[in-house]
Structure 1
Amino acid sequence: MQNKITIIGAGAAGLFCAGLLGQKGYDVTVIDNGKKLGRKILMSGGGKCNFTNLNVESTHYISENRHFCKSALKRFTQWDFIQLVNQYNIAYHEKDHGQLFCDNSAQDIVDMLAQECQKGQVKFMLNTQLEDVEAEQQGFKLSTSQGFVHTDKLIVATGGQSMPALGMTAIGYKIAEKFSIPVVPVKAGLVPFTLHKPLLEVLSTLSGIAVPVEVSNERISFKENLLFTHRGLSGPAILQISSYWQAGEAITINLLPDVSFEGDFQLLLENNRNQSIKNCLAQILPKRLIDALMQLNLIADLTVKQLTPTQQQVLYQTLTRWMVTPNGTEGYRTAEVTLGGVSCEALSSKTMEAKNHLNLYFIGEVVDVAGWLGGYNFQWAWSSAFACAQTFD
């Protein structure tokens, strides 16, 4: 039996897989360039770690092969991970859209994974740079800053390129390319938008204001909060749509997602006929946002009673179909996930093993599977790690 397994990356997927394999009796070593375990886990969810979601479907994932994630997600579900969390008595709570967060700290999840690794006597080489990987007759030879490591099986769990300040690099893609495994071009996902200067000069004055919206493009829409920042647009709705955004494309922002024209909006205007449009709308939108829309010449400085029925409809359309063309995104620096990655076509969906190279596996974010905001990327990490570990039974 081949016993020695090396995992590159001490993040969510790498740690979970290491614990599972160690407890099966394998000799497992985890190599990571950082000083401590689970750096991205600790940063996630505002330090509370949105570790999974109560509603996980393959439709919550983006990939060139949209069916690839189904097998792993089915074999290790959100309920399986919740069961493990419960075993460790980690307190958690549900937020909007089925998102589960730790009550105390993301450290609880890292400690749980570390204890699972401890049970399996997993060894760690932290603060260690991986410099090269070569195939040998029996496995692989890794060149690291701590010397050579020989291993029978290699599992790449290096994550993507998002949040480079945490030490994230492109090493996982380089390993794939070295073994002729195709990589789908990568870009930042779940990331705030930047704005062109004229629009930014107006909207940056709204920094810190959040409003419920529905944001859409021609392919998808998301109904959540939008947050104005001093750099552009953020908040859950923007992060979600960013993963489906193409450069140069406009997005449509509905500032009144729960207000119908025939009912609520017309009633609002009728009840405030003698007020200015600005003061009337201030009952349903932040006053500073209305000021900004007036500055952009999207709202006229008139009283409500001066509006004709057609102008009332135009005003409603302005507020529900506000077209904004982002300048770009903030990039990997603030992105929560990397879109693209190791091509699913080159991997087995059952084992995560490379089809063209035995004993080489890719799990987690390094693979071309990116989830929505809301715990889906962590669930992919757990599920893909489990699928890989089951291969070794």
Structure 2
Amino acid sequence: GGGRCNFTNRLLTRQNATERFLSRNPRFALSALSRYTPADFIARLDAAGIAWHEKHLGQLFCDGKATQIIDLLLRDLRAAGGVLSLETEIERVERAGDGFLVTTSQGPIRAASVIVATGGKSIPKMGASSLGYEIAQKFGLDIVETRPALVPLTFAEQDLARTAPLSGLARPVDLRLGKTHFAEDLLFTHRGLSGPAILQISSYWREGDTLKIDLAPGNDIAAALSEQRDAAGRQALHNALARHLP
């Protein structure tokens, strides 16, 4: 969130949670989202005196730095008796009697229960790996084939040459893939397309799929150009379009 921490979304409700949780089992997160709602987390921040503001589409951000959220959660962790061990590699997890034995680079840890919450494997330079999937497979859990999600779309060289001059330009768009669509910002980059709309649709896109991008949502450009011609006479197309698009 640009260092401000996009910490929740006010528009998330129990009614729309299954639509917003992309999964083969969309009801998986329903109980957690029902028992601890966005309003609960907002109240937690208010009690801690952390100021926040709302952007479009219900997105909530800190007024200050994201480290405020980190500090709050670390305080909660310590208050609950939790211990945070950094720079500690998990080497293996195995059953040991009624519990588990976790072998780490800092020595063994015995526990009655183990929660594997390693996230995905998308950013190795931040420490992400496939460890979580390997542990799950070891204990006989089925693994859904992994694929890129919430990522930019990159272009081949021949296509990139057409869009590279637009690098850095952002536009509110309506982006569609079949029945799925997002009305958010699109960002042209030196490698292709990014921005919230693209990151969202990337979770649904497959190689060969066609995306439809409306760069002027809610506007009939053809009608607007016709009106401009009637009012101002002939003019260069790029000058006429400049009123509507960068």
- TM (norm. structure 2) is 0.93
Partner of 2:9: 53
Whether the 8 Å contact between 1:195 and 1:231 is mirrored in structure 2 is: yes
Q: What is the rounded CA distance, in whole Å, between the counterparts of 2:89 and 2:197 in structure 1? A: 37
**Segment of structure 1 superposing worse, 91-100 or 271-280:** 271-280
Work out the CA distance in 2 between the residues paired with 1:159 and 1:242: 18
Partner of 1:152: 112
Would the aligned equivalents of 1:55 and 1:98 in 2 still touch at CA under 8 Å?
Answer: yes
1:364-379 matches, within 5 Å, as none
Corresponding residue for 1:74?
Answer: 34
Shift of 1:209: 0.9
Contact 2:4 2:65 in 1 (8 A): yes
Q: What is the DSSP-based 3-state SS (H/G/I as helix, E as strand, rest coil) of the residue aligned with 2:186?
A: strand
Structure 2 Cα separation of the partners of residues 202 and 141 of structure 1: 56
SS at match of 1:86: helix
In percent, how many aligned pairs have the same letter? 43
Question: 1:255 is matched with which residue: 205, 211, 215?
Answer: 215
For 1:55, give the aligned amino acid: L
Mapping for residues 1-393 of structure 1, pairs under 5 Å: 45-56=1-12, 57-58=16-17, 59-260=19-220, 264-286=224-246
Decide whether aligned partners of structure 1 residues 249 and 272 sit closer, same or farther in structure 2, where only a CA change above 3 A counts.
Answer: farther
Provide the C-alpha distance between the structure 2 equivalents of 1:212 and 1:266, rounded to a whole number of angstroms: 23
Q: Deviations over 1:134-165 (max 9, x none)?
A: 11112001111111111111111111123322
Q: Measure how far apart 1:263 and its partner are.
A: 5.1
Residues 268, 235 of structure 1: alpha-carbon distance in 2 compared, 3 angstrom cutoff: farther
Give the TM-score, by structure 1 length. Answer: 0.59
Q: Note if contact 2:186-2:195 (Cα within 8 Å) is conserved in structure 1.
A: yes
Counterpart CA distance in 2 for 1:240 and 1:133 is 34
User: Which secondary structure state, in structure 1, belongs to the residue aligned with residue 11 of structure 2?
Assistant: coil
Distance (whole Å) between structure 2 residues aligned to residue 109 and residue 260 of structure 1? 43
* Aligned twin of 1:334: none
- Count, aligned residues: 242
Q: Which has the higher helix share?
A: 1
Q: Displacement, 1:166?
A: 1.4
The separation in 1 between residues aligned to 2:232 and 2:130, in whole angstroms, is 58
CA root-mean-square deviation:
1.5
Distance 1:282 1:261, change over 3 A: closer
Distance, in Å, in 2 between the alignment partners of 1:243 and 1:273 is 46
Greater RCO, CA 8 A, separation 6+: 1
CA contact (8 A) 1:272 1:280 kept: no
Deviation at 1:188, TM superposition (A): 2.0
Say if 2:225 and 2:241, in contact at 8 Å, map to a contact too.
no
- Separation in 1 of the partners of 2:222 and 2:103? 68
Per mean C-alpha deviation after superposition, the further-off stretch among 270-279 and 229-238 is: 270-279
